[in-house]
Amino acid sequence: MKRHLIAATLVLTASVPAHAQQGEIQWTQTINVPKGQNMPRDRADILGLELGDSYDEAKAKIQNLAAEGIQPKPAGGSAADRMVARMNGQRSGPQPMREERRIYNFKAPGANSTISASFVQKIELSRELPSAKGKISDSLAVHFSAPSSGHQIIGVTRSITYGSDGDQPLISDTLAQLKKKMQFEPQAINAGGVKYRFQFNDGNPYAPPKPTLTSCLPGYGVEYAGGLKNVNESGDCDAFLEMSAQTGISSNHASILFFTLSDNDRTKANLTADFTFLTEYVERLQQNTRGAPPKL
């Protein structure tokens, strides 16, 4: 614990586009949490993006998902031409994928220079899906640990927005699909709408007696070692999948669907390894960096 607190005092963090800066340290993997450890593999994914997938595995899958959407076209022609293109479902503007890089800058007391490390901590995908009735917007955010723990997926969020009433699915139909996939009944949490939670403890389905909105939270947003104590603090929220909806033309129709998939035990193990690696890297650098003594 002391070592992690040291890391927190040395680390300054920032989130920037992935192309902005490259890390200077050489990452070394120190831990490899296997897939399926906290949630059965046949249930631990969103759109095939599986908890524990490496960055390279995930990026290839996200690129395939991006190709399924309506492809953006370069803006050009007259305003009338661009309007006709939009009416025909053609997209223009930025590419659907975006990478966000986490940068750590180390500066030990007395040092004259900083040491940087970075990695892609999140990939976002915003795509429009074809529909004869209107526009369907599908957004994903895929969260990763650092390369020292395998650069693995630790969480995925997804939202689907239905622009046309005719595209709105029934919430009950979507929930039935999830129940079939997860193979057990979810917890239904009523708080300004219903949230359905499929919770796992020690790799098995689990239903606490009095679930609340905050009794099982995702852990992938932790940025400092000190925050790891709050991840799965109850000890029974090892992993989960949640679904909620914004209702549409009826209380059983969804105008927006929200999904959250989080592997909290993987997050805790991986980020503990990541902060330990970074701290020990700086300590080794301090110990091994020395110049020649002056001539006396």
- Indicate the DSSP class of residue 251: T
Q: pLDDT of the chain along its 296 residues, tens only?
A: 333 333 333 444 445 555 444 437 889 999 999 999 999 999 999 999 999 999 999 999 999 999 999 887 665 556 666 566 555 545 455 679 999 999 988 766 566 677 889 999 999 999 999 898 888 999 999 999 999 999 999 999 999 999 999 999 999 999 999 999 999 999 999 877 889 999 999 999 999 998 999 999 999 989 889 999 999 999 999 999 999 999 999 999 999 999 999 999 999 999 999 999 998 988 877 776 666 678 88
Residue 83 three-state SS: helix
Q: Does the reported pTM lie above 0.95?
A: no
The pLDDT score that the predictor gives to residue 102 is: 94
Residues with Cβ within 8 Å of 113's Cβ and at least 6 positions away in sequence, in order, are 107
Cα torsion for 7, 8, 11, 15, to the nearest 10°? 130
The pLDDT score that the predictor gives to residue 161 is: 97
The pLDDT score that the predictor gives to residue 2 is: 30
The pLDDT score that the predictor gives to residue 10 is: 40
CA 227 vs CA 1, 138, 184, 230, 264: distances in Å: 11, 31, 32, 6, 13
> Which amino acid is it at 180?
K
The pLDDT score that the predictor gives to residue 288 is: 67
The pLDDT score that the predictor gives to residue 151 is: 98
CA 26 vs CA 19, 22, 181, 278: distances in Å: 18, 11, 40, 10
Nearest to 161 by CA among 257, 87, 247: 257
The pLDDT score that the predictor gives to residue 19 is: 46
Rounded to 5 degrees, φ, ψ at 72 are -70, 145
Q: Distance (Å, rounded) from C-alpha 142 to C-alpha 156? A: 5
Q: Tokens 């390279």 sit at which residue?
A: 56
Rounded to 5 degrees, φ, ψ at 42 are -75, -5
Angle of CA points 266, 180, 257, to nearest 5°: 70
Q: Distance (Å, rounded) from C-alpha 76 to C-alpha 82? A: 7
What does the block give as tokens for 84?
Answer: 């006709």
The pLDDT score that the predictor gives to residue 12 is: 40
The pLDDT score that the predictor gives to residue 111 is: 62
The pLDDT score that the predictor gives to residue 9 is: 36
Nearest to 43 by CA among 261, 295, 290, 206: 261
